Amino acid sequence: MREPSLKESALASVLIHALIFFVAVFALKRASHYSIPKTYTVKLVSPGQKTKIKPSIPKTTKKPEINVARIKQIKAQRRQKMMSMKKAMVTKKKKAIKKAEELDTTHVQQQIEKLRALKRVKRLAALKHEVLSISKASGTKRQSEPATKQQVSDSKGKPGASDAVISTYINMAKQRIWSEWVLPEIKALDGLETIVIIKILKDGKLKIVGIEKPSGDSLFDRSTLRAIMKASPLPPPPEELELGIRFQP
């Protein structure tokens, strides 16, 4: 049998070493996929005394304290406020009613004054017409009869006019003056009386001669004088006259 040559032995040795090398490399690659497990430290404790577990007490919410005095005070304030509002409303309503009544009263009073003024105007117009008619008649009569001195209760006239003419004219003059009289705002009007002497000139203008009887109240007396001045002038009289005008509330 032939022994292997040197060349064949060397080739076989190289193959064997290569095989060993590949096996070693493969083994190392497989070993890298495994990780080293972590180490855990465990402390062993000997059993001690048992501790009692306290039962948990449920927490209760504390109720807020009620301030009774404060509540009463608030209620009292609200009640007082409501009463004040109610009282104010009642007062306002009363004032409105009173104002309406005053307006009604004023309106009625104004209507009454208008009616009175209308009556006075009609009465004065009638008296004026009568005076003019009598004056014309007496003028015609005076042409045929001699003039005589006439005297009328509270007047002093010049001679020439009849009693009827003068009396009618005096009534008309008094009504005219009284229609212009406005009573002053005086509390005590009862018992007041003023008599003023006036002179009626030929052109109808009024002249105040003086106060024959004062009332004792200056406001009252001045109101009578104002009425006389407002009534001037009057229709021309039959003749110049002097008479007293009595003012009473």
Nearest CA to 198 out of 151, 160, 231 is that of: 231
Residue type at 211 in one-letter notation: I
Alpha carbon 70 to its chain's center: 36
**pTM recorded for the entire structure:** 0.40
**Bond prior to 238 in cis (omega within 30° of 0):** no
- What pLDDT does residue 130 have? 62
User: Residue 61: helix, strand or coil by DSSP?
Assistant: coil
Q: Where are the alpha helices (DSSP H) in the chain?
A: 6-32, 68-144, 163-179, 218-231
Q: From CA 228, how far away is CA 180, in angstroms rounded? A: 8
Q: From CA 161, how far away is CA 141, in angstroms rounded? A: 10
**Bond prior to 233 in cis (omega within 30° of 0):** yes
Nearest CA to 176 out of 134, 133, 223, 232 is that of: 232
- What pLDDT does residue 164 have? 86
Q: From CA 183, how far away is CA 212, in angstroms rounded? A: 19
pLDDT tens string for the chain (249 positions)? Answer: 556 677 788 888 888 888 888 888 877 777 655 555 666 666 666 655 555 666 666 666 666 677 788 888 898 999 999 999 988 989 888 888 888 788 777 777 788 777 877 776 676 666 666 666 655 654 554 444 443 333 333 444 444 457 888 899 999 999 999 999 998 888 777 889 999 999 999 999 999 999 999 998 999 999 999 999 999 999 999 889 999 999 998
Domain ranges of the chain: 121-247
CATH class (in words) of the domain with range 121-247 = alpha beta
Distances (CA, A) of 193 to 130, 196, 217, 244, 249: 30, 10, 9, 13, 8
185: tokens are 């705002």
Nearest CA to 222 out of 209, 234, 211 is that of: 211
- What pLDDT does residue 245 have? 94
Nearest CA to 227 out of 196, 185, 192 is that of: 196
